[in-house]
Amino acid sequence: MSARPSTPALSCHRLSVAPMMDWTDRNDRFFLRLLSKHTRLYTEMVTVGAILHGDKARHLDFSREEHPVALQLGGSDPAQLAECVRIAEQWGYDEVNLNVGCPSDRVQNGMFGACLMAKPDLVARCVEAMRGATRLPVTVKHRLGIDDLDSYELLTQFVRTVSGAGCDTFIVHARKAFLQGLSPKENREVPPLRYEWVRQLKADFPHLTVSLNGGVKSLAEARAHLEWADGVMIGREAYQNPYMLALADTQLFGETTRPPTRREVVLALEPYIASLLERGEFLSRVTRHILGLFAGQPGARGWRRVLSERATRPGAGLEVLRDALAQVPERVLDEPATGPVSVAEPAVLAQDTSLGTPERRA
């Protein structure tokens, strides 16, 4: 478990990193926190069944340093969700988020995720039960609609119904979802982005906190959206090009301290990795998340190659991390972030098998 620290950032959704299956586990979140103190982090989606009937520590444990951190739940049974948020509060999370956006077959078979867009009354009952079981903020992450249920009128009906149950924060993925015919990956790319719907939603519900998710690839884009949105959630770009977050605290949260250099981030990560190795964990449990740290920079290919080839080997230790660093020019290691950070190289990153299977990321 993790005790909750005292920090003014706990209630802020100004910038967050999206929950992503196979990606935003506790090791990735610890790494991302080294880049930004204030960006809100989300767990991978955890189903109510995994919490109620599985290994709670495996699914819920996190490091104190990860705060502010939110638990995303997948489920549609109000009583089960209520029990899970009680557990989440005991575990020390700062927020509980209900997934109403994932379109995968597995999620649909469990009767939760994006298919709940068609059942606003059920979502409202879930939110009401969750709020009655915890003092934590209960938020909802959802799509614009699903299949043929994709009018703006239906979207406002959904938000009005769920907000009536006490939810005041909506994280809106600005695409609809197709429940049949598209993979989760295609559902993140094929349906067109409709930022104007989310902007209108904020105008129509000014008393609600509305955060935008979908297609945001830079802090400059985030700042532009923050002219009207209460928050912006970044997904794949923050994973593939994580060093973009090094500027988040100064550009979006008003910090005046110098952003960390890439070398400083890696050095700060070493004690955490050492503790995992002492417990018999593989080095790759962490290094698979940091392949994109030098995205777009000289030496990035060598950095990825050393980590991808050697980190999975039995007995691999910190020497592998240091050898990977040696592939990067000194000026890149020690150059602080001062402006726009180069974009990631998704086509190259996709070739690194240690990243996992993209189709499973929702």
Which of 31, 55, 60, 35 is CA-nearest to residue 45? 60
Q: Which residue among the candidates 84, 102, 115, 167 is catalytic per the annotation?
A: 102
The C-alpha torsion from 100 through 21 and 230 to 145, rounded to 10°, is -30
Q: In this structure, what token pair is assigned to residue 354?
A: 């240690």
**Residues ≥6 apart with Cβ < 8 Å to 358:** 185, 350
The C-alpha torsion from 146 through 208 and 89 to 38, rounded to 10°, is 100
CA gyration radius, the chain: 20
Instruction: Please give the C-alpha separations between residue 243 and each of 4, 12, 236, 276, 329, in angstroms, as whole numbers.
Output: 26, 21, 13, 23, 16
As a whole number of angstroms, the distance between CA 282 and CA 106 comes to: 28
Q: What number of other Cβ atoms are within 10 A of residue 323's Cβ?
A: 14
Q: What number of other Cβ atoms are within 10 A of residue 8's Cβ?
A: 9
Cα angle, residue 102 at apex, residues 202 and 85 outer, rounded to 5°: 80
Annotated catalytic residue 102: yes
Which of 161, 8, 114, 134 is CA-nearest to residue 71? 134
DSSP string spanning 167-234? Answer: --EEEEESS-B-SSSS-HHHHTTSSPP-HHHHHHHHHH-TTSEEEEESS--SHHHHHHHTTT-SEEEE
Catalytic residue IDs = 102
